[in-house]
Chain A
Amino acid sequence: MSNKVTRRNLLAKIAATLAGIMAAPVARTAKAAVQKVLVSTGAAKGYDPTKHKWVMAIDANRCIGCGLCAEACKKENHVPEGPYYRTWIERYIITKPKPGSGAARGETIVDCPNGGMNGFPEPSVPKDQIQHSFFVPKLCNLCEHSACVQVCPVGATFDAPDGAVLIDPKYCIGCGFCIQACPYGCRFLNPVTKTAEKCTLCYHRVTRGLKPACVEVCPTQARVFGDLKNPVPDDPIQLFYQNNKVQALKPHLGTDPRLFYAGIDKEVR
């Protein structure tokens, strides 16, 4: 094939580029429209997912482990009793090393009684032996390349254009593959509906201009929520990114989480 630039093929290229530029937003809108029609997301009427990019961030330095967020989530989303959580809080206790051991740290003890919903009991180690202790709220990591979405055999779980990773409960066949694929243990099989379930960022709330329940009740603003496409003055999410060095969980798996943490330790996974 000759690479000679003629008027004819130049015009064809320009036309193709223009068509591509024009088609992209149309395709995106069409995709969003189809998703809106087909999928039971609980979104508000008239909500346009292409105009938002929701994200959450966690400032672990601020978390006091009160468990209100986990409790609010259970209530707001009618999560069944028992070991089923869309969000939970882990407590990390890193003990001091044994004298003369030559180690920098002692052992790491993690607990999460009842998802942290009722707060935490006294640590099992005496206080003078604790080197560090901190709380880490956990939820869907909002992965850019979600392993759960990749493996769903029917496409019942999907990346919404606004950043949420959602499940269509009317479409999920309950095979559990996504639960196996999620490296963060964020999914569970709802024992009542027999479908997979996870944090939706309280989609029914955020699409109506509200904050997710966990963010709403957090007394210390350890959970920061925002819309990357529509920054507001003194946007907490923008301030969070500006003021903190952040990290994501299990970055080596290549899931590229959009949920960032500030103030966590290497032991957190």
Chain B
Amino acid sequence: MSGEITNYVFEAIPHFEGYVYPNEATQQPLWSVLIVLYPYITGLVAGAFIMASLVRVFNVRALEPVYRLSLLTAFAFLLCAPLPLLFHLGHPERCFEVMMTPHLTSPMAIFGFVYAWYLMAVLLLELWFDYRRDFVNWSNQTPGLKGILYRLFTVGVTDVSEPAVKLDHKLGHILSIIGIPSAFLLHGYVGFIFGSVKANPWWGNVLMPIIFIMSAMVSGIALCVFNYMALSWIRRKAIDMKCLDVMCMFLFYALVVDAAIEALDWIHRVYSAEEGFQVLQYMAREKLFYTLNLGQATMGTVVPLLLLGTLQLVRNRVPDLVRRRMYFGSAMLILCGVLAMRWNVVIGGQLFSKSLRGVMSYKMEFAGLEGWFMGAVLLALPFIILTVMIKLFLSEKLPTSVSLETQGVAAK
């Protein structure tokens, strides 16, 4: 009887073609939309942090208006980065075993440490050093609960004498320098989780960590562009066009490198045409046609490259309004394109059998842990956290005493 039921279920849902190993013939891929969001969100963190580092480490002063916004963006997204991973575990209650008894040959085992390092030692500390003087001032100026909150954030360190503030900035600067390789580590490591799977010809690729790092930078900068423009629009404030131009210049160059490396990856795959190439080719032509060719390559890479590239050449001839729209459009396209790229890697890598003889189908459900709704919630969550942080730390009502121009960058 049970055998009959199983047969019936199999026949009712023909969701694979060719031959797939029987354990692969499941309803949905083992790593589903949550694991798509995990590298996406982590990438946004790394990219936003690099964006902030441009000001602090590389002294790109034009970007000062977005320095704090970038840091806060990185922080808000970092807080949410492990959530999809955690929700996806079969036993989330055992998650601390990853840190308590890590198995050191596993690329996944180190995530807890890399994450903790990046959150505690880099981002949180850098933010604190950057904001400490403001916290002290704001706690004196703001009454009520908010004032208490600012006082709590000072952690009792209320010395705002010149040497103390200078020390803050020096330490912040050092942390920023440490932060750049840490951001690369955080996301390159996420790429390695996929790149190290030699059983899967779509993933097992030496370029994977580099592709992840570059796409992370691209998506993170695009997110900062989006956040800056959205915030300015919400606050009805004029956009600093010089800042936006410089941001999008970096976005363009990062996209050029990213596109070049991804193209190199494909050229290598096509030319070497190793075992499994046929199935990859089929994936690109059929299963992932829209997300790969249209979403990732055309809309996510070529169109923004053309838009941003054009603006690099004839920036001064394009009116501000048109330029702003082109920048905004490019940023949105890139954000969607990188999400499509994560989808293609994670889901694409599981839509063909490791027997290389068949492919599976996947139709995302709406409700449930791995559905559209949960995905949307997890993507919205960092924006909600960021909104709260902006209210608290980028408030227009509070005077900002720290100007990088006068202190931060000068501390170099």
Chain A positions near chain B (C-beta within 8 angstroms): 81-85, 88, 90, 108-115, 117-118, 138, 147, 150-155, 171-177, 179-189, 193-195, 252-254, 269
Please give, as numbers and ranges, the residues of chain A lying within 8 Å of B10 by CB-CB distance: 83, 113-114
Instruction: Name B196's contact: one of A83, A151, A155, A174 (CB within 8 Å).
Output: A151
Determine whether the beta carbon of A181 is less than 8 Å from that of B101. Answer: no
Q: Are A115 and B22 in contact (CB under 8 A)?
A: yes
Contact with A187, one of B23, B97, B103, B355 (Cβ below 8 angstroms): B23
Contacts of A109 in B (CB 8 A): 19
Q: CB distance A195 to B91 under 8 Å? A: yes
Q: Is the CB of B200 within 8 A of A172?
A: no
B234 in the interface (beta carbon within 8 A): no
- CA distance in complex: A110, B108 (Å): 34
Answer whether residue B406 sits at the interface, using C-beta atoms and an 8 A cutoff. Answer: no
Binding site for A on B (CB under 8 A): 2-3, 5-7, 9-10, 19, 21-26, 30-31, 88-92, 94-95, 97-98, 101-103, 105-109, 111, 193, 196-200, 275, 350, 353-357
Among B19, B88, B92, which residue has its beta carbon within 8 angstroms of that of A110?
B19
Residues A183 and B354 in contact, CB atoms below 8 Å apart: yes
Q: Is the CB of B98 within 8 A of A154?
A: yes
Residues of A within 8 A of B31 (CB): 176, 180
Q: Of A83, A108, A172, A175, which one neighbours B22 at CB under 8 angstroms?
A: A83
Residues of A within 8 A of B23 (CB): 83-85, 179, 185-188
A154 to B106, CA, bound (A): 8
Q: How far is the CB of B36 from chain A (nearest CB, A)?
A: 14
Instruction: Evaluate whether A154 and B19 lie within 8 angstroms (CB atoms) in the complex, with A172-B90, A189-B90 already known.
Output: no
Among candidates A114, A175, A182, residue contacting B199 with C-beta atoms closer than 8 Å: A182
**A-B residue pairs in contact (CB < 8 Å), sample of 21:** A82-B9, A114-B6, A114-B7, A115-B22, A118-B3, A138-B21, A151-B106, A154-B106, A155-B103, A155-B106, A171-B94, A171-B97, A173-B92, A173-B97, A174-B94, A176-B90, A180-B199, A185-B23, A185-B354, A188-B26, A253-B199
* B357 with A110: CB separation less than 8 A: yes
Please tell me if the beta carbons of A173 and B199 are within 8 angstroms of each other in the complex. Answer: no
Residues A153 and B103 in contact, CB atoms below 8 Å apart: yes
The answer to whether B198 and A183 touch across the interface, beta carbons within 8 angstroms, is yes
| A153 and B106 contact, CB distance less than 8 A | yes
Contacts of B105 in A (CB 8 A): 150-151
Task: Identify which of A113, A154, A174 gathers the most chain B CB atoms within 10 Å of its CB.
Answer: A154
Distance in angstroms from B11 CB to nearest chain A CB is: 10
A151–B108 CB distance below 8 A: yes
Highest count of chain B CB atoms <10 Å: which of A109, A153, A175: A153
